[in-house]
Structures are given as C-alpha cells and as structure tokens.
Amino acid sequence: MSVKNLLDLGGKVAIVTGGSRGIGLQMAEGLGEMGARVAITARKQDELDAARAHLEGLGIECLTVAGDLARFDSIPGMVDTVLGKWKQVDILVNNAGCNWAAPAEDYPDAGWRKVMDLNIDAQFMLAREVGKRSMIPRRSGKIVNIASIAGMGGNPPSWNMYTIAYNTSKGALIAMTRALAAEWGRYNINVNAICPGFFPSKMTKATLDRLEAAVLEITPLERLGGDEDLKGSVVFLASEASRHVTGQALAVDGGGMTI
C-alpha cells in the first residue's frame, strides 16, 4: 500500500471534542482534508456553527454536537447523534479540556474537580462509550488523546504557573492512554496521545502574554506552535500509517522536552 493510501481517511468518521476553535478545529480540519467526515463537539452552538461553516467551506462534511462533556450523563446522547448520522465512529480525538490556576496549598476543591472532570473523567467515559458501541464490535478504531507536555512533569519554578491540577490530569491522560492501548489492542484499536507544547489559544493567552519570551528561550526551534503544526501528527495517529503504533505519547513542542 502506498504512503498516500496509508494516510487516506476517506470513508472514516471522526469525533473531535473541543473542535470549534483552536487546536481542536485545526485537527478537525486536518482529518477532514484527508477525507474523514468530522463531528465536532463544544458547549457553544454559535462557535460550532462558525466552525462548521469554515470546514464546509473547505469541502469537509461536518456534524456539530453541542454539549458539556463534564455533564457525564450527556455523553451517550452525543454519541447517539454521531451514530445516528453516520452509523460508526472510526476515530476519536479527545481534545476538550480546561485549566484552573492556584497555588497548590490554596487550590480549591471546586477547581480541582472541574479540571479532573473534563480533562480525565470525561475523556475516559467518551472513549468507553465509543469503544463499546462502535470500535470494539467493528474490531477497528483509532483514539488520540490530547494530553500536554505539562503531563510529563512540573513547571519551571520561576514561571509561577500554579497549574497542579492541569499537570496532574494530563499525566493521568498519558497513563490512561497506555493502559487502554494495552487492553484494547486485542480489538485492533490503537490508542495514542499527542502532547502539545505552547500553542496560542484562548486558554494559553494569559500565560503567553506573561511568559512567551521565557517559553521561546527553552524551545530549540524558537517558535510557538502554529496553525498547522498538529495536522500531520493527528492524521498519522488516526490513519493506517500508524497501525503498528500504540500506547505512545508524542510531544509536539518545538523540542522543549529535549532540554
């Protein structure tokens, strides 16, 4: 099979959570460009509508599914919507996430619970739902969890970031990726993670306004993530090109983790 055919996603159905903007929309675009039909989820319908218009303008077939993944009882219905439209889910990109900053000694219970609910609990529950209802019965699937380089360690003390729940949740997501890959390999389901570094986004704006120079100083490629820097990674991990790759965490951070 040619490399082009290995990367082709024609006929596949992908769910991208948090797909209405930022890196989620970027990845939805990449999957759609390679032929996938893309269902994007987010809380705000107006942002979903704008994203769908953008994707359809590129010739990508798109379905929007509004809902809050942190409301766990909404997850089956979200999957119902996709299966009702396209009968299958071949690719799941678990991208939705949130952050809450506070020093560890003063970290509020509500903040910790909010981050864990969305960044790890909802990711597992959605993977479980999609796996049980589509991927396992069909003996085929690709799950790509969007973790973070923050899940690979702590923050530089001088940065004063105070994101212990975020780091913890992303570390847990990497561990979940490896455990699920080991358990579901028998069903021909590949489970991998992408660990982005700093990409300009609504979530990272406050941090980058304060720390962009410091981030660039420890980044060998001397740049932040851009509008196309996750497309290749997610297409590779969602396609047959990665059929012998599972349980891996790929850092896409300009080389920051090498220092």
Could you give the residue numbers annotated as active site?
A: 166
The label of the residue with tokens 């990449």 reads: 30
Pairwise CA distance, residues 72 & 64, whole Å: 18
C-alpha span between 202 and 178 (Å, rounded): 29
Distance CA 58, CA 41 (A): 19
Cβ pair 213, 232 in contact under 8 A? no
